[in-house]
Amino acid sequence: GEDVEQSLFLSVREGDSSVINCTYTDSSSTYLYWYKQEPGAGLQLLTYIFSNMDMKQDQRLTVLLNKKDKHLSLRIADTQTGDSAIYFCAERRGTDKLIFGTGTRLQVFP
Protein backbone atom coordinates (compact mmCIF):
# COMPACT_ATOMS: atom_id res chain seq x y z
CA GLY A 1 0.00 0.00 0.00
CA GLU A 2 1.07 3.53 -0.53
CA ASP A 3 2.57 5.05 2.61
CA VAL A 4 0.78 2.89 5.16
CA GLU A 5 3.43 0.92 6.99
CA GLN A 6 3.30 -2.11 9.22
CA SER A 7 5.84 -4.50 10.64
CA LEU A 8 5.90 -7.75 8.71
CA PHE A 9 5.77 -10.38 11.43
CA LEU A 10 4.62 -10.87 15.00
CA SER A 11 4.86 -14.06 17.00
CA VAL A 12 3.08 -14.50 20.34
CA ARG A 13 2.28 -17.27 22.74
CA GLU A 14 -1.30 -18.40 23.09
CA GLY A 15 -3.03 -16.50 25.89
CA ASP A 16 -0.75 -13.47 25.65
CA SER A 17 -1.75 -10.12 24.18
CA SER A 18 -0.78 -9.17 20.66
CA VAL A 19 -0.15 -5.61 19.57
CA ILE A 20 0.01 -4.82 15.87
CA ASN A 21 1.18 -1.37 14.86
CA CYS A 22 0.56 0.79 11.82
CA THR A 23 1.63 4.24 10.69
CA TYR A 24 -0.14 6.23 8.04
CA THR A 25 0.59 9.52 6.31
CA ASP A 26 -2.65 11.27 5.40
CA SER A 27 -3.78 13.39 8.34
CA SER A 28 -7.12 14.01 6.63
CA SER A 29 -8.10 10.35 6.70
CA THR A 30 -11.50 10.08 8.34
CA TYR A 31 -11.67 6.42 9.24
CA LEU A 32 -9.02 3.81 9.97
CA TYR A 33 -9.65 0.11 9.74
CA TRP A 34 -8.25 -3.24 10.73
CA TYR A 35 -8.83 -6.19 8.41
CA LYS A 36 -7.96 -9.85 8.92
CA GLN A 37 -6.99 -12.18 6.09
CA GLU A 38 -6.77 -15.91 6.60
CA PRO A 39 -5.02 -18.17 4.07
CA GLY A 40 -6.91 -18.40 0.80
CA ALA A 41 -9.64 -16.06 2.00
CA GLY A 42 -10.70 -12.52 1.35
CA LEU A 43 -10.39 -9.69 3.83
CA GLN A 44 -12.65 -9.55 6.85
CA LEU A 45 -13.28 -6.26 8.59
CA LEU A 46 -12.45 -6.59 12.28
CA THR A 47 -13.01 -3.08 13.54
CA TYR A 48 -12.65 0.57 12.64
CA ILE A 49 -12.17 3.88 14.39
CA PHE A 50 -13.24 7.37 13.49
CA SER A 51 -10.39 9.85 13.35
CA ASN A 52 -11.73 11.98 16.22
CA MET A 53 -11.55 9.04 18.63
CA ASP A 54 -8.55 7.92 20.65
CA MET A 55 -9.65 4.43 21.53
CA LYS A 56 -12.24 1.86 20.65
CA GLN A 57 -12.80 -1.47 22.37
CA ASP A 58 -14.71 -4.39 20.94
CA GLN A 59 -14.56 -7.59 22.99
CA ARG A 60 -10.95 -8.81 22.75
CA LEU A 61 -9.95 -6.05 20.36
CA THR A 62 -8.72 -2.61 21.38
CA VAL A 63 -7.83 0.02 18.81
CA LEU A 64 -5.67 2.98 19.80
CA LEU A 65 -5.26 6.01 17.58
CA ASN A 66 -2.62 8.68 17.99
CA LYS A 67 -3.61 11.17 15.35
CA LYS A 68 -0.73 13.52 16.11
CA ASP A 69 1.81 10.80 15.32
CA LYS A 70 -0.45 9.12 12.70
CA HIS A 71 -0.09 5.87 14.59
CA LEU A 72 -2.72 3.17 14.86
CA SER A 73 -2.51 -0.04 16.88
CA LEU A 74 -4.60 -3.14 17.34
CA ARG A 75 -4.39 -5.04 20.59
CA ILE A 76 -5.78 -8.57 20.74
CA ALA A 77 -6.28 -9.80 24.29
CA ASP A 78 -5.94 -13.50 25.14
CA THR A 79 -4.63 -14.35 21.67
CA GLN A 80 -5.77 -17.71 20.35
CA THR A 81 -4.40 -19.97 17.62
CA GLY A 82 -7.41 -19.01 15.53
CA ASP A 83 -6.13 -15.45 15.50
CA SER A 84 -3.19 -16.50 13.34
CA ALA A 85 -3.59 -14.57 10.10
CA ILE A 86 -2.40 -11.48 8.28
CA TYR A 87 -3.70 -8.21 9.66
CA PHE A 88 -4.00 -5.13 7.46
CA CYS A 89 -4.59 -1.61 8.59
CA ALA A 90 -6.25 0.71 6.10
CA GLU A 91 -7.07 4.38 5.93
CA ARG A 92 -9.96 5.98 4.15
CA ARG A 93 -8.96 8.83 1.88
CA GLY A 94 -11.51 11.01 0.20
CA THR A 95 -15.03 9.72 -0.10
CA ASP A 96 -14.46 6.04 -0.55
CA LYS A 97 -10.87 5.05 -1.24
CA LEU A 98 -9.18 2.56 1.07
CA ILE A 99 -5.38 2.51 1.23
CA PHE A 100 -4.04 -0.68 2.77
CA GLY A 101 -0.81 -1.34 4.60
CA THR A 102 1.51 -4.18 3.70
CA GLY A 103 0.08 -6.46 6.37
CA THR A 104 1.44 -8.04 9.56
CA ARG A 105 1.58 -11.81 9.76
CA LEU A 106 0.58 -12.89 13.26
CA GLN A 107 1.67 -16.32 14.36
CA VAL A 108 0.31 -17.74 17.59
CA PHE A 109 2.13 -20.68 19.12
CA PRO A 110 0.97 -22.89 21.99
Partner 1 sequence: EAGVVQSPRYKIIEKKQPVAFWCNPISGHNTLYWYRQNLGQGPELLIRYENEEAVDDSQLPKDRFSAERLKGVDSTLKIQPAELGDSAVYLCASSLGQMNTEAFFGQGTRLTVV
- Residues in contact with partner 1 by the rule CB under 8 A: 1-2, 4, 30-31, 40-45, 48, 50, 88, 90, 92, 95-103
Choose between 8 and 82: whose C-beta lies nearer to partner 1: 8
What kind and span of H or E run contains 93?
strand 85-93
Choose between 16 and 38: whose C-beta lies nearer to partner 1: 38
- Sign of the Cα torsion 12, 102, 30, 28 reads positive
Choose between 17 and 107: whose C-beta lies nearer to partner 1: 107
Contact 23, 72 (CB under 8 A): yes
